[in-house]
Amino acid sequence: MAKAPQRHRSRWRHEIASFGYALQGIREALLSEPHLRFHALATAAVVALGFWLRVPRHDWALLALAVGAVWTAELLNTAVETIIDLVSPDFHPLAGRAKDVAAGAVLLMALAAVVVGLLVLGPPLWAKALALSSQR
């Protein structure tokens, strides 16, 4: 069997390395951003509740999209804040405005995710709570 040309092998190495860089970025954000650690705990709680409530597959898809969107918004917010700190180390009203808008995007996405969570997890959680209270 013929070997792949060197150019193709180096391209694959580059692609694999880019995944490593992305994972390193997520790791660094988790270590440095308290809000992202909160989102990690919230994600764990949502996953645990989803398993406990045995939510259907299509509901898992909604939860995964909501969680992924919040994480994405938080990571982008972290990137925006980092770039602004680099280019404008001193206070500037436009830098503050950009940071506030990026943080607002995270808040908006987090609120939307809470609504998704309530719509998906609320009814089965309420049913489970009623079933447990009727057993007493």
How far from 104 is each of 30, 82, 108, 111, 130, CA to CA, in Å?
Answer: 19, 16, 6, 11, 37
Q: Is 74 a catalytic residue?
A: yes
Q: Which of 15, 33, 74, 81 is catalytic?
A: 74
Closest by Cα among 80, 77, 129 to 105 = 77
Q: Which amino acid, 73?
A: A
Distance (Å, rounded) from C-alpha 66 to C-alpha 109? 8
Distance (Å, rounded) from C-alpha 132 to C-alpha 73? 37
Catalytic residues: 74
